[in-house]
Structure 1
Amino acid sequence: MILRTILIGIVAFLGYGEYFLTGRGQVARPIVMGPLTGLVLGDLTTGIEIGAALELAYIGVIEIGASVPQDMVSSAILGTVFAISTGKGISAALTFGLPLSMLVLLVQNLAYVFVAPLYVAKCDQYAKEGKSRKLSLMAFWGGTVVNFVPSTLLIMAAYYFGTGFSSAIVKMIPQFVQDGLVVASGLLPAFGFAMLIQQIIRKEIVPYLVLGFALSAYLKMPIIGVAIMGLVIVMIMYYNEQKNKPLMNGGVGNEDDTDSF
């Protein structure tokens, strides 16, 4: 149990590392965190399933400015943990993962409010004194502590103390409520894509959205087929644009470029 708790902490550390150490490699996404958690717990298949289901729910979630969404790392890790420990799949992931992710987000915000100003003030002091090495170390380790330590420790504690508790809670939940959670999990992908479409929707792309829906819903074309058709349409539009670019620029073009094309 202790070893697995440590491994869960390492997975959480990798997820939070994206925000401060490794750059935006999308490691923090549920589709990565879920399988890694499942691998630690010895059930990779369930980890992949839960990660994919939560990824669909979070697909439209993105940080914009000061807007901070739910914590995806804790939701994916703890959702996968409780789904495997209770054997209830995505319904358990929703029951425990999403609420606990809000708790982790609260802890993160408290750390930002009460802890971050302390090391920022220390950074200002080192900057005034011209101590560049100490400034770099304080900026790095201060940010690391605020971003990693509280959330990682909370996830480890939730795993260590919560698996037996979660199993008991799930047994107390009426079956019709669990069935409702399963139905809700089927709506999450639609909700996630709706959030994504809301951010990128423009009148120019509406026909393609309708075309994709019609191909999938009425012609029963697989998603891969729809994606390939979309790729072909994009390539046709791109090459036509490149071909017509000299005309749009007043007919001034390079004959060599035309020959090479």
Structure 2
Amino acid sequence: MILQTFLIGLVALIGYSEYFLTGASMIFRPIALAPLVGIVMGDIPGAIKVGAAMELAYLGVVEVGISTPQDMVSASVLGTTFALTTGKGISAALTFGLPLSMLILIIQNVMYIFVAPLYVTKMDEYAKNGEDHKLSMIAFWGGTAVNFLPSVIFIMLAFYFGSGFSKQLINMVPQFVQDGLVVASGLLPAFGFALLIQQMLRKDIVPYMILGFVLTAYLKIPIIGIALLGLVIVMILYYNETKLKKQLELFGGGIEDDDEHF
């Protein structure tokens, strides 16, 4: 159990590496972290199914500007853990993972407000004295320890003490809220897709969206077939655009030659 708890903490740390090591790799998403949890729990197929369902539910959860959604790492790790241990799937993942992720978000904000300024002050001192090595070390390790280690420790404790510890926290959430989370699991995927489409919706893209819907809903073409068809369309558009650019360059060059001739 102790080894498993340590490995769960390592999975959480891998998820948080999105913010201090790997960059925008999307490794903190449920679709990436759930299989790692499945390896630790010994149920990879079940974890992949839960991760895919959670990814759909959290598809619209993105950090835009100053908006701060729930902590995705804890929601992914703990949600998958409790979904596998309770056998209730996505319902347990949302019921347990979502409130706990909000609690961890509060912990992170407390660290940002009260603890982070302490090492930031030390960073200013190192910068003033030109001690760049110390500045880099405290910026990386200090920021990592202050911002993410408390979250990793909390995730490990929640896993170690199991559903009993988590249920005590969940009991603080009204029952109607928990029921609403279960119902929302069926609505969140559509909401997430709507948010994404709103960002990318353009007049020249709408026909392809309608085409994809028709192929899926009426012609019953599998997703792989539609993806291959989309690849063909992209290749045709790319080659036609490249050919058009070459023709325009030749035509433009001819105009320049005529101007020089006159």
Which TM class, normalised by the smaller chain length? 0.7 to 0.9
For residue 181 of structure 1, report the CA deviation from its aligned partner.
6.2
Q: Residue 61 of structure 1 contacts residue 195 of structure 1 at CA under 8 Å; is this kept in 2?
A: no
Matched residue, 1:91: 91
Distance in 2 between the 1:248 and 1:113 partners? 57
Distance in 2 between the 1:18 and 1:250 partners? 47
Distance in 1 between the 2:53 and 2:225 partners? 21
Distance in 2 between the 1:198 and 1:246 partners? 34
For residue 228 of structure 1, report the CA deviation from its aligned partner.
1.2
Matched residue, 2:258: none
- Report Cα offsets for 1:58-98 as digits up to 9, x if no partner: 33433233222222111110111111111111111111111
Matched residue, 2:13: 13
Distance in 2 between the 1:182 and 1:108 partners? 26
Distance in 1 between the 2:92 and 2:29 partners? 19
Q: Residue 85 of structure 1 contacts residue 167 of structure 1 at CA under 8 Å; is this kept in 2?
A: no
Q: Residue 158 of structure 2 contacts residue 166 of structure 2 at CA under 8 Å; is this kept in 1?
A: no
Distance in 2 between the 1:144 and 1:15 partners? 12
Distance in 2 between the 1:161 and 1:222 partners? 43
Matched residue, 2:4: 4
Counterpart mapping for 1:176-215 below 5 A: 184-215=184-215
Matched residue, 1:109: 109
Matched residue, 1:235: 235
Q: Secondary structure at the match of 2:85?
A: helix
Structure 2 residues not aligned, in runs of 5+: 171-176, 255-262
Matched residue, 1:158: 158
Change (3 A) 1:187 1:223: farther
Counterpart code for 1:247:
Q
Structure 1 residues not aligned, in runs of 5+: 171-176, 255-261
Q: Normalized against structure 2, the TM-score is what? A: 0.86
The alignment's C-alpha RMSD in Å is 2.6
Change (3 A) 1:133 1:169: closer
Distance in 2 between the 1:179 and 1:107 partners? 25
Distance in 2 between the 1:108 and 1:179 partners? 27
1:136 aligns with 2:157: no
Counterpart mapping for 1:11-90 below 5 A: 11-90=11-90
Distance in 2 between the 1:161 and 1:87 partners? 18
Counterpart code for 1:77:
V
Distance in 2 between the 1:148 and 1:168 partners? 24
Higher mean C-alpha deviation, range 160-169 or range 119-128: 160-169
Task: Give the paired residue count.
Answer: 249
- Report Cα offsets for 1:228-248 as digits up to 9, x if no partner: 111111111111000001334
For residue 34 of structure 1, report the CA deviation from its aligned partner.
0.5
Change (3 A) 1:253 1:4: farther
Matched residue, 1:257: none
